[in-house]
Each structure stands twice: as structure tokens, then as C-alpha cells.
Amino acid sequence: MLRLSEKKELVEDLHRCFQKAAILILTDNKGLNVESVNELRRKLRDAGVEYRVVKNTLLRRAAEGTDVAVVTDDFIGPTAIAIGYDDPVEPAKVLAEFAKANEKLEIKAGVMNGDRLAVDNIVALSKLPSREVLLSQFLSVLNGVPTSFVRVLNGVPQKLVYALNAIRDQKDAA
């Protein structure tokens, strides 16, 4: 049992985490055995995601004044939170994959940029490529534009040289 001072400290810590979070996903892990929960925690930790099980009353207090306040109605029953700070896709991927393999893990809702995410949105988010892949795709597109431009510019003098060679060949033949 936590003392009042420990509860206040926990609420303040959660409040800071909620303010820094890029995404927060609520889950219900009721029915999962300890082994499965530990496996989920390990996968989330490897992805750089914080996973906590906290009382709903403390979650409600910590959510006040943050973007997470939009999901306080979902703080019902056993609630665990996955907090992603950098890449919002990674927590969604890990939780969606784990929920497919373990039907007892239920994804309740999520928050990203102050907007409430339904389960369908979280699953759709999990299907996106990671941030690094998206950045590399974007850079390849940016790199393709100047390369094509250089080819076009190079084509003009090249066609001129071909035309001059053709004229020379005609004069040599005549």
C-alpha cells in the first residue's frame, strides 16, 4: 500500500511522463499470466516504451492538464499504460502484434497529439513503417528530384552533340 506522499510523487511523475509522451496506449491485461506480461514488458522496453500498471484514480489525477485527459473515461477496470516518447508507431506495433498472439490483452484506446485514438486507429498506426523507414523513403524521393533534373539538363547538350555529329557525318558522306 502506497503512502500519501508516495502517491503524490507517483502522480507528479506520471504527469511529467504524460506531458512528454508522443503516444499513450491504454491496455487491459486482465487474464494474462506473469510470464506473458513479462514478455510484453521486455518487448516494449526493447522498443523504448514505458509500460506501467497504475490505479485509475491516480491516472485520472495525473492526466489533468495534459493531452491524456481525453481518455480519462477509459480508465475503467484493470488499466495498464504504454508510453512512447519518440516514435508513436513502435508502441502501436508491439502492442498490436502481442494482442494478435495473446487474445487476453485488450487494447482500450490511445492518445496522440491530444486526439483520442480508437482501437482501429491504433491498429492502422501499427501497420505504418517505422520513423526511420519513412525518413529514408522521404530522402530517396528528395534525392530523386535533383538526379532527374541533372539528367534532363545533361540531355540538352548531349542531343546537341548528337545533332552536330549527324551533320558532320552527312558532310563527310557528301
Condensed to tens digits (0 to 9), the pLDDT of residues 84-120 reads: 998 888 899 999 999 998 888 899 999 998 899 999 9
Helix (H, G, I), strand (E, B) or coil at 164: helix
Angstrom distance (rounded) from CA 11 to CA 20 = 14
pLDDT digits (tens, 9 = 90+) for 18-58: 998 999 999 998 888 899 999 999 999 998 999 999 899 99
Name the percent of the chain lying above pLDDT 70.
99
Helix (H, G, I), strand (E, B) or coil at 139: helix
Q: Which three cell numbers stand for residue 125?
A: 498506426
Helix (H) or strand (E) holding 92: helix 89-101
- The one-character DSSP state at 2 is -
Helix (H, G, I), strand (E, B) or coil at 9: helix
- Residues 49/93, Cβ–Cβ less than 8 Å: no
Angle at 119 between CA 89 and CA 108, to 5 degrees: 105
